[in-house]
Chains A and B, each alone.
Chain A
Amino acid sequence: MNPAENNSVCSTKIDASCRVPLLVLFNGAGLWLILGLVFSLIASLTFHKPELFAHCPCLTYGHAIAIANDLLVYGFAIPAALGVMLWIFARLSQAELALPIVPVAAAHLWHLGVLVGVGGILSGNSTGYTWLEFPRASAMLLGVSFVLVAVSAIATFAQRKECELYPSHWFLLAALLWFPWIYSTANLFLGSTHPVRGVAQPIINWWFANNLIFVWLALVGLGVAFYFLPKISNRPLNSRFYALFAFWTLILFGTWLGIPAGAPVPAWLPTISAFASLLLIVPILAVAVLLKNILCGANVKCFGGNFCYLRFGSVMFLVSAVMLAAIGCPKYSRVLEFTWVGQAQIQLQILGFAMMILLGAIYEILPRIMGTELPFKKLVPVQFFCSLFGTVLFVIPLAIAGAKQGHAGFDPAAAKFWLMISTSGLLLLLLGSFALLLNSLAMTLKWKVGLIKKVIAAVTAPLPDTEVKS
């Protein structure tokens, strides 16, 4: 079963209708990706020399790491995912993007919201809740713009010619409904002037964090992978039943994770989370079967090309989810709770899984919506290998640091060496990340120059004979 599409002339039209909103989303995402990794690097350098940024109040570790994480998720992953979703919905519906002006405005608002949020954290106005550090003004902008993009995406979805849904539809549509629900809940319960009392705050915060970082990114990443992997490899997604099973079990079990084992909360909460991490094995197996059916035997030549991004990303989902399930197991959580292992899993989920899949999708989409080749095509494999080795060099040392830290009873000296190694992974990731912005900016500029040239040509063109005579 392949995405329902016939490669007719109208595909070009559909692609062109997505051009402006996607460029705004991808350009911003490219910029935030670089900045997010820069802040991540600043945070990591603190472990080499704690005094490095001590003179500057806004660059202390607490600020830098919050900005880095928020930029990677709110700055890069969400706008990139929204852009990819719009395009996939338009393609699957065989219809032009509905209300194209709405996502353009929303994308600008979104990037403004991220900018306001970063300014808020730098000026000490972080809310103090993990993954919700952006102050209220920024959260409102983000919430509104997401809903606006979702409206356009769902309007495009409603225009579809074929009624039957493709599996990617389930995952992506669910992601569109998911984020407004969790983001508004978290902001109403935590960000309002009267937040809930006491430890109900961290409970809701953990619920939100798990639903955003694990479930939302999984929905988006898998939805995109299940669209592009069959499309590029020209092999069907086998089978629809497994995909449906993976979808249902992922959202049924995945949503209950996130409450750490030793937390000072009513005991039934961490117990449910520990049980849910055991059940998480079920969707992991279902996704593994699906990926095995597509990837094993796929005859796609790619040396760091788009297919490589998507393949690496989807395999990293399995690794990250297994890590998450293992951390939730009481036997390991006794030692690994509060260590770097948890951070390693989160970074793998964001950089190894979501970022890789989204990058592969963006590089697949950009040439189509612009109607030209990528201007820096050679940078794509460069970025792939930088990101691959970067992720490995970043995440594995973090995990080792966590294990050492857990066994040494949180002696800071135990983890230091491995934290310093992990910086090299970040450097590689940062090096590769320039490719996206360079490509998308160059394409935007070329296109705009082309437009201006057309306008000038139209203005300076000699009047047609008919008009001269009259």
Chain B
Amino acid sequence: MKNGFGVFFAVVVALGLSWAGFVVAPAVQLGTAKRTTVLGTGDNWPLQRTGAATLGAQIYRANGCVACHTMQIRQDGVACEVTLAKAGKNPMAVSNLLATLKLSGLTKEEADAAVEKISTAGGKAETHVIPVGADITRGWGVRKSVAADYLYDAPVQLGTLRVGPDLANLGGRMADANWQMIHLYAPGVVKNSAMPSYKFLFEVRKVGSTPSSDALNLPKEFAPADGYEVVPKPEAKQLVAYLLSLHADVPLYEAPFTPAATKP
């Protein structure tokens, strides 16, 4: 490169290409995304958050919770299993057939073929789609996170580091608001927790003539002195409302699975 224009050209080509690929293309591809529907029920997805949860998302942002928590479940793939729904008129033939078939750890095609065989034998079988992956084995989610889950979020706080657990499906797996409050005030209730306490979202005050109905029911080692109670400030309530609004537990076209409720 002989002069400054060469460098200018290099920057425009190199950065321009990646700008078109990683900024413009995703903005075009995802910028017009509309909400989608839940497989099976046809409900809308994602749901708008309640007012308190929307405010809570801003408390999550302001306190930098994203530094330690991700909000994305990874999945390696799916495994299918076949379960018998009805034996039909010829149970002996069906059960003989079942003994010869492989019924779990199948691909979708294998599972459908098995269902087909069972129905020709007179029985009725169903295919269950089960997501597989380390995050799902850990119990952090029931399926992978997909782009549609974040449609209404701003900012989208996917996170890059898991000092604490993933929160993508927190509302689905730990729906107890009281436990969430206690955990925010005294993270020590979880063994080995590295989380600092968020005491400043709570007020420790003297018990009045009647104890507050919001007061936390803390374990002994975290409880305040006698005659005092710990009451969540509005911020704590909003944050918990937000945490409980984190649900990624419905089957979607791009992340199908058979929900537990419909399993026999």
Given A55-B199, A202-B156, A342-B161, verify A124-B63 contact (CB < 8 Å): yes
Contact indicator A170/B72 (Cβ below 8 Å): no
Instruction: State which of B5-13, B116-124, B224-232, B239-247 sits at the interface with chain A.
Output: B5-13
Contact indicator A195/B11 (Cβ below 8 Å): no
Instruction: State which of B92-100, B189-197, B207-215 sits at the interface with chain A.
Output: B189-197
Q: Give Cα A31–Cα B19 distance, bound, in whole angstroms.
A: 34
The one of B1, B153, B164, B196 in contact with A46, judged by C-beta atoms closer than 8 angstroms, is: B196
Please provide the chain B residues from 1 to 52 with a CB less than 8 Å away from any CB of chain A in the complex: 1-4, 6-8, 10-11, 13-15, 17-19, 21-23, 26-27, 29-31, 33
Contact indicator A157/B22 (Cβ below 8 Å): no
The one of A164, A196, A255, A263 in contact with B31, judged by C-beta atoms closer than 8 angstroms, is: A196
Residue A11 is within 8 A (CB to CB) of chain B in the complex: no
Q: A residues within 8 A CB of B200? A: 54-57
Residue B150 is within 8 A (CB to CB) of chain A in the complex: yes
Total inter-chain residue pairs, C-beta < 8 Å: 222
Q: Give Cα A319–Cα B63 distance, bound, in whole angstroms.
A: 33
Q: B residues within 8 A CB of A260? A: 160
Contact indicator B2/A54 (Cβ below 8 Å): no
Q: Give Cα A355–Cα B14 distance, bound, in whole angstroms.
A: 26
Please provide the chain A residues from 248 to 268 with a CB less than 8 Å away from any CB of chain B in the complex: 248, 251-252, 255-256, 258-260, 262-266
Q: Give Cα A169–Cα B8 distance, bound, in whole angstroms.
A: 11
Q: A residues within 8 A CB of B68? A: 61-62
Q: Give Cα A55–Cα B148 distance, bound, in whole angstroms.
A: 38
Given A50-B197, A173-B4, verify A61-B67 contact (CB < 8 Å): yes
Shortest Cβ distance from A174 into B: residue? B11
Contact indicator B138/A409 (Cβ below 8 Å): yes
Proximity string of chain B (48-64) to chain A, C-beta cutoff 8 Å, 1 when within and 0 when not: 00000000000001111
Shortest Cβ distance from A416 into B: residue? B194
Q: How far in angstroms is the closest Cβ of chain B from A367?
A: 30
Contact indicator A204/B64 (Cβ below 8 Å): no
Q: B residues within 8 A CB of A47? A: 194
Contact indicator B31/A197 (Cβ below 8 Å): yes
Please provide the chain B residues from 147 to 167 with a CB less than 8 Å away from any CB of chain A in the complex: 147-165
Q: B residues within 8 A CB of A197? A: 30-31, 33, 151
Q: How far in angstroms is the closest Cβ of chain B from A256?
A: 5
Q: How far in angstroms is the closest Cβ of chain A from B61?
A: 4
Instruction: State which of A182-190, A427-435, A438-446 sits at the interface with chain B.
Output: A182-190
Given A203-B26, A252-B14, A262-B72, verify A129-B155 contact (CB < 8 Å): yes
Residue A101 is within 8 A (CB to CB) of chain B in the complex: no
Residue B113 is within 8 A (CB to CB) of chain A in the complex: no
- Chain A: residues with Cβ within 8 Å of the partner, total of 86
Among A66, A121, A174, the one with the most B-chain Cβ atoms within 10 Å of its Cβ is A174
Contact indicator A248/B10 (Cβ below 8 Å): yes
Q: How far in angstroms is the closest Cβ of chain A from B68?
A: 7
Residue A413 is within 8 A (CB to CB) of chain B in the complex: yes
Q: Give Cα A133–Cα B63 distance, bound, in whole angstroms.
A: 11
The one of A60, A124, A200, A259 in contact with B196, judged by C-beta atoms closer than 8 angstroms, is: A60
Contact indicator B74/A262 (Cβ below 8 Å): yes
Shortest Cβ distance from B147 into A: residue? A199
Q: List 16 A-B contacts (CB under 8 A).
A: A50-B197, A55-B200, A60-B64, A164-B2, A165-B1, A165-B3, A177-B8, A177-B15, A189-B23, A203-B23, A204-B23, A255-B17, A263-B72, A264-B72, A265-B30, A339-B162
A contacts, CB < 8 Å to B: 46-47, 50-57, 60-63, 65-66, 121, 124-130, 133, 154, 157-158, 163-165, 169-170, 173-174, 177-178, 181-182, 185, 189-190, 195-204, 206-207, 211, 244, 247-248, 251-252, 255-256, 258-260, 262-266, 269, 272, 337-340, 342-343, 405, 409-413, 415-416
B contacts, CB < 8 Å to A: 1-4, 6-8, 10-11, 13-15, 17-19, 21-23, 26-27, 29-31, 33, 61-68, 70, 72, 74, 134, 138, 144-165, 187, 192-200
Pairs A-B, 5 closest by C-beta atoms:
A62-B64, A124-B62, A262-B74, A255-B18, A251-B14
